[in-house]
Structure formats: structure tokens, C-alpha cells
Amino acid sequence: MYHFVIVGVLVILMTILTYMGIDAVGLARHMNPVSASAQAVFVDQMWHWEIWVISFLFSLIVVPLVYSLIFFRQKKGEMKDGEHVEGNTQLEIAWTIMPLIIVVIFAYFGAYTLGEERRVDPNAMVINVKAQQFTWTFEYPQYGFFSSELHLPVDQQVVLKMESADVIHSFWVPEFRLKQDVVPGRTTEYRITPDLEGSYKVRCAELCGTSHAYMENPLVVTSQADYDAWVQEQIAIAAASKTPEGQGKVLATSNGCVGCHSADGTKLTGPTWFDLFGSEVPLADGTTTTADEAYLAESIKDPNVKVVEGFPANVMPAFSLTDEEISNIIAYIKTLK
């Protein structure tokens, strides 16, 4: 009995110390990265309680183990066998009932949290999201423009309707805590209420190909006023894009071209479009070709016919666009000098 009391007290002390240790490195309460959505609060709360249980279970194993090693050692000259134990009904009942209660409590917490994550605000704003190797595209259907940046107003629920153009991706913003797969052939939903202004990143959390690690787009959470200003700016840009070059720029964004082909000379997954038109392009087979209309059109429709030196084949998917769309994209490429 005396040993049980001491071990019991030590287990409680060890639980508190373990919890404090985990908390000190920012993994219990004040989490890193910060939480930036109303939904994150419930996830963090549940995580916090799990850390308490983890600390307790860790102590429940380690304390009796170390205590036994120290106090129940074989003494010098002690040769007889240990006491034979047949079983302990009380102990067996305890270690069946206790985990059962803990699991039931956490099942309740889990269901409650899931319910809160899915709570629907009927005024939620809809944004369409397209995932493709290796970029995200955001469409604001109520205004009719596309963007490679996701801008959201603070404290308003948005529902992202997400589709994939190729393989399985996963929409992930660590600060929002929630993650949702984007699966070809169906539309998945992601509901979020950002509650902290700032700049974050939309990441992809599903290995989707060679440049999976670079599949990230900017996410900006701003005040309603700044958001409205950004929307007006985007509408103006969209209006200015009625020209072939402008149309081409819109197509390059909505089809995700800009995710791999920079407009400023930066080397991304694919060759840059800067100063491309009319230049001599070295090819993987050792020859060169002139970047004229015919070459650019061919490379959009059938990217593996002429592969640029230094870039792997079979990375860019073939795009089936109309002749007009292709000539608009080429018109846009011509402006990049």
C-alpha cells in the first residue's frame, strides 16, 4: 500500500512535469504556427487535452518502471524466486474501464469538434479552387475573375469548392489547422473562417509529383475594406484583359501556366516566358529552334515533342485549348520583354 501511494504521487508529479515540458517548447497551448481561424480553436483545444492524457500515460509507464528498478532489486545474496502472482481482478477491471472512459470522452470531443468544423454559415462566400500540378488557382465566381493568390476577408466564413485537374492534391494551411484532399472527378468542400489578419501560404499536403514541395500559393487575410479594394483592383485588371494579350494572361493564370513559367526570368519548374518569343531555344536533343508562333503552339498542345534543354520531359501536361486561346497566350508571351 505504501508503495502504491508513493508511486501514485510520483505519477501525478511526473504528469505535470511532462505537460510543462511539452508546453515550454510550444506544443501544448500557445501553438506554433499561430492559429488563424475560428475552426483552429477547436482543434487546438482538443490537442491540448490530448497532451494531458499523453503526459499521464507516459508517466504511468515510466514512473512504476523506474520505481521498480530501484526499490525491488534483487538484494545481495537473495537467491529465491519472486512471488508467484496468479492475476489481479481489481487491476484488470481498472485497466479495462479507465481506457474505455478516456476513449469515450475523446470520441465525444472528436465528434463535437467535427461538428464545429462543419458548422455552416448560410452567408458563406463561395470561392472555386482548382488544383493542378503544381499550382493553385482561385476563382471568385461572384466577380468573375481568377487569381493565383487567395485573398480572404477576416471573420467571414468562406467555402472553397475544390477540384483537381490531374492527380490527388491536398489543400493545407497550417495556421487554419484543417486539411482537405482535392480529388479528380469530384468537388470537395473546405469551410473556414479566418480570424487573424496576415500573410500565409496555401500548401499541398499530398505527394503529387516532382514539384509537389513547391506547390504553394500566397494567402492573404485582410480587413473587409482592404479585401474590397483588392477585389476592385482585380475587376479592373479583368476588364483591361479584353485584348488578346490580356485574354492570354487570364488564360495563363486560369490554366495554371504561371505556376511553372515565370514572366520575369525566374527559373521555375518550366522555362521562363520572359524574352522567350523570337529567341533561339536550345533543345534536349542538342539542336535549337526559334520560339515562333508554331513552336509555342506545338509546345502547348504537345509539350514532349520539343523539350527544352535542362528541363525534364513528361512534367507539363498537354493542354487542349482552342486556336484562339493559344494565339491569345502567345500574344501575352510576346509582351514579356
150 lies in the site for ligand CUA, by CB under 6 A: no
216 lies in the site for ligand CUA, by CB under 6 A: no
DSSP state of 144: T
Phi-psi region of 77 (alpha: psi -120 to 50; beta: other; left: phi over 0): left
CB of 13 to ligand CUA, least distance (A): 45
Q: Strand (E) positions, 145-302?
A: 145-147, 150-153, 158-164, 169-172, 179-182, 188-192, 198-204, 217-222, 280-282, 288-290
245 lies in the site for ligand CUA, by CB under 6 A: no
Q: Which is nearer to ligand CUA, 215 or 308 (CB)?
A: 215
Q: Which is nearer to ligand CUA, 38 or 208 (CB)?
A: 208
> Who contacts 71 (Cβ-Cβ below 8 Å, separation ≥6)?
3
**What is the bridge-based pairing of β-strands 150-153 and 217-222?**
parallel
Q: Which is nearer to ligand CUA, 177 or 212 (CB)?
A: 212
215 lies in the site for ligand CUA, by CB under 6 A: yes
Q: Which of 117, 206, 216, 245 binds ligand CUA (CB under 6 A)?
A: 206
Query: Among positive and negative, which fits the CA dihedral 225, 226, 231, 232?
Result: positive
CB of 133 to ligand CUA, least distance (A): 6
Q: Which residues of 289-319 are buried (b: 16+ CB within 10 A; e: fewer)?
A: bebeeebbbebbeebeebbbeebeeebbeeb
208 lies in the site for ligand CUA, by CB under 6 A: yes
316 lies in the site for ligand CUA, by CB under 6 A: no
169 lies in the site for ligand CUA, by CB under 6 A: yes
130 lies in the site for ligand CUA, by CB under 6 A: no
- Contact residues for ligand CUA (CB under 6 A)? 131, 134, 169, 204, 206-208, 212, 215
